[in-house]
Amino acid sequence: MSVTVLYFAALREAAGVSEEQLPVPDSLTELYALLRERHGFKHAQNQLRVACNGAFCDWRYVPADDDVIAFIPPVSGG
């Protein structure tokens, strides 16, 4: 059982990949903490948006097998 995690912008740069497969976590908070430690992400959880299966979701969402989870950092543009 696994989830696909997508990375964008600074998170993609830090992870060195645009996506990866991971075991289904107990929570999104737990998942991001693990990834932050693994990849050295600088953004705190409260600085990110999270999307599950193509739609923004709450951090309290409970991940399930085959979910696609995206952590989206703040972006700037011009």
pLDDT the model gives residue 47: 93
Domains contained in the chain, number = 1
CATH of the domain at 52: 3.10.20.30
Q: Flag whether 28 is in a domain.
A: yes
Q: Flag whether 78 is in a domain.
A: no
pLDDT the model gives residue 77: 56
pLDDT the model gives residue 74: 84
Q: Which domain holds residue 55?
A: 2-72
Q: Flag whether 46 is in a domain.
A: yes
Q: pTM of this prediction? A: 0.90
Q: Distances in Å between the alpha carbon of 3 and those of 31, 50, 74?
A: 10, 14, 23
pLDDT the model gives residue 75: 73
Q: Average pLDDT of each block of 10 consecutive residues along the chain (78 residues)?
A: 94 95 96 96 94 96 97 75
Q: Flag whether 26 is in a domain.
A: yes
